[in-house]
Structure 1
Amino acid sequence: MEWDNQRLLDLALRVTDACLTTVNDSSDWSATGELRGQHFGDVVADNAALKILIDAGVNVFSEESGVLDQTSSITAVLDPIDGSTNAARGIPLWTSAICLLRSGTPAVAVVRLSGNQGVFAATRGHGATFGGKAIAPSSTTSLRKAIIFVNGYPRHHFGWAQMRALGSAALEISLLSKGSGEGFIDCSDGLAVWDYLAAALILSEAGGVVSVTGEDLLKPTIDRTRRKVIAACNTQILDALRDQTDQPGQDE
């Protein structure tokens, strides 16, 4: 099959829609006990995604089911439900995120919000959208005027105006792409590639910036290693956040 950008985008939209539609019909959010933070709802969503991706003949790297090699030039990096703890607790802040790579390079990304709250999408070289409309990040350059999304527990105040912790990195990084905040910083033991890759492409295409420790986002390493992620509306905010991570008492 000829995988042009539109076909990839259509596939990503179908997969994320299937994930959320299937999970919305599921009432079991108890833990599976198989993987860190995995709920039965995650598995239900993953199964729905795999049916589509297997039929499409593409490779898959999913948080829930791992690697599926179909010898394709296209690889789907998938987090069927990002923020499943929120879903389990009835907090309506969770997403389905997928990034489709062509020969190892991110080409298309979709982050779909639960409850029909909207869809972020991006195609490399063609910008990013929310609800089908072009988006751009905030123009704020001062950290003291910024709203910063935080994953994990910061050891000290970074000098922001306000902070938010929503429990879904894919959601938080994507929100930067439409000006809902100015920065994101991971203060946990790191994020896996499925947590950030789709949102990173969306933010980059919108005009923002993303830094991942030891990683080239144009040729990401597809494994389960956890990495530190900083994202921002511009380099000024990114640099200010990066400087803060070097302060005494802050975990590296």
Structure 2
Amino acid sequence: MSSPVCLPSISKELLADLTIAHQLADLADVLTSEKFQTLGLKIETKPDLTPVTEVDRGVERILRDHLLSALPDDAVIGEEFPNTGNSNRSWVIDPIDGTKNYVRGVPVWATLIALLIDGEPVIGVVSAPALNRRWWAAKSGGAFVGSVDHSGFIGKQIKVSKVTNLSDASLSISDLGTDPTSKYAAGFGALTNQVWRTRGYGDFWQHCLVAEGAIDLAAEPQVALWDLAPLAIIVEEAGGRFSGLNAVRGPDQGTALSSNGALHEAALKAINA
């Protein structure tokens, strides 16, 4: 049985932007998949001691070129190159979220693409070709997941879980707070003691699992806008909540907590106690 075609009930303008976001993801998937698990991959270390590959830069360059051609007036914010443009419409790109996984041959990595209008995410696409999964959302149009083989608008709508007690909740933390100097180490420890189950799915995947209802909470103590921009709208359009660990809504707080909504306040209280 084939998956249904999911065309969100959104404006023609927003649908056009979502179409472009899918096109960008298609372009990225070709290059990232081609280079994954190949010998001789060029890897450098950035000033923040995180790895960057020739593929990270190559993908971002291709996506920037495509946006410049299709939407020359839009601004672009990316992980690997300086910001360009001056517009209330900003595309946010993480060419490979999970670069450490990518270089080690672990299939949990993705290209993250979002459109922000006046700082608010209105389009989000996360494409993980090694997992054959793509998640997407548009403002007021719902959140969806499909396969990379059927990219575009073929998939199913997703919803967060209905778990209401921390004692029944499944939590993922990207950094388990083992660094005793971390501001949130004690808080993460307290939260893990209150939930049913804790795992470290990490990066984009944990927030997508929240959106799908597979887990109930995901937290990150240090993260950038491009790591989160599409995830925020995907989680919210699936019925959840997305904020910084400071409780401020949005993907630009430098930290992150995604949840099914019902558990959000209790999780924040535990983390910040």
CA, structure 1 residues 74+246, in 2 after alignment: closer, same or farther (shift >3 Å)?
Answer: closer
- Matched residue type, 2:207: I
Rounded to whole Å, the distance in 2 between the matches of 1:209 and 1:74 is 23
Alignment coverage as a number of residue pairs: 235
Which deviations, in whole Å up to 9, do the C-alpha atoms of 1:59-94 show, x marking residues without a partner?
11001113011x444210111111111111111111
Q: How does 1:54-93 map to 2 (within 5 A)?
A: 54-56=68-70, 57=72, 58-69=74-85, 71-93=86-108
Give unmatched runs, 5+ long, in structure 2.
1-10, 147-154, 178-184
Aligned to 2:152: none
Give unmatched runs, 5+ long, in structure 1.
248-252
Which deviations, in whole Å up to 9, do the C-alpha atoms of 1:156-188 show, x marking residues without a partner?
2332222221231x22112211111000112x3
Q: Is the 8 A contact 2:172 2:202 kept in 1?
A: no
| TM-score for the superposition, normalised by structure 2 | 0.79
CA, structure 1 residues 116+6, in 2 after alignment: closer, same or farther (shift >3 Å)?
Answer: farther
Aligned to 1:250: none
| TM-score for the superposition, normalised by structure 1 | 0.85
Equivalent residue for 1:139, pick from 156, 162, 169: 162
Aligned to 1:176: 210
Instruction: For residue 214 of structure 1, report the CA deviation from its aligned partner.
Output: 7.1
Across the aligned residues of Structure 1 and Structure 2, the Cα RMSD in angstroms comes to 2.1
Q: How does 1:1-252 map to 2 (within 5 A)?
A: 4-26=13-35, 27=38, 28-36=40-48, 37-40=50-53, 41-56=55-70, 57=72, 58-69=74-85, 71-115=86-130, 117-131=132-146, 132-154=155-177, 155=185, 156=189, 157-168=192-203, 170-186=204-220, 188=221, 190-212=222-244, 213=246, 215-217=248-250, 227-235=254-262, 237-247=263-273
SS at match of 1:67: coil
Worse-superposed segment, 77-86 or 14-23: 14-23
- Matched residue type, 1:194: W
Percentage of identical aligned residues: 23
Segments of 4+ moved more than 4 angstroms? none
SS at match of 1:120: strand
Rounded to whole Å, the distance in 2 between the matches of 1:67 and 1:181 is 34
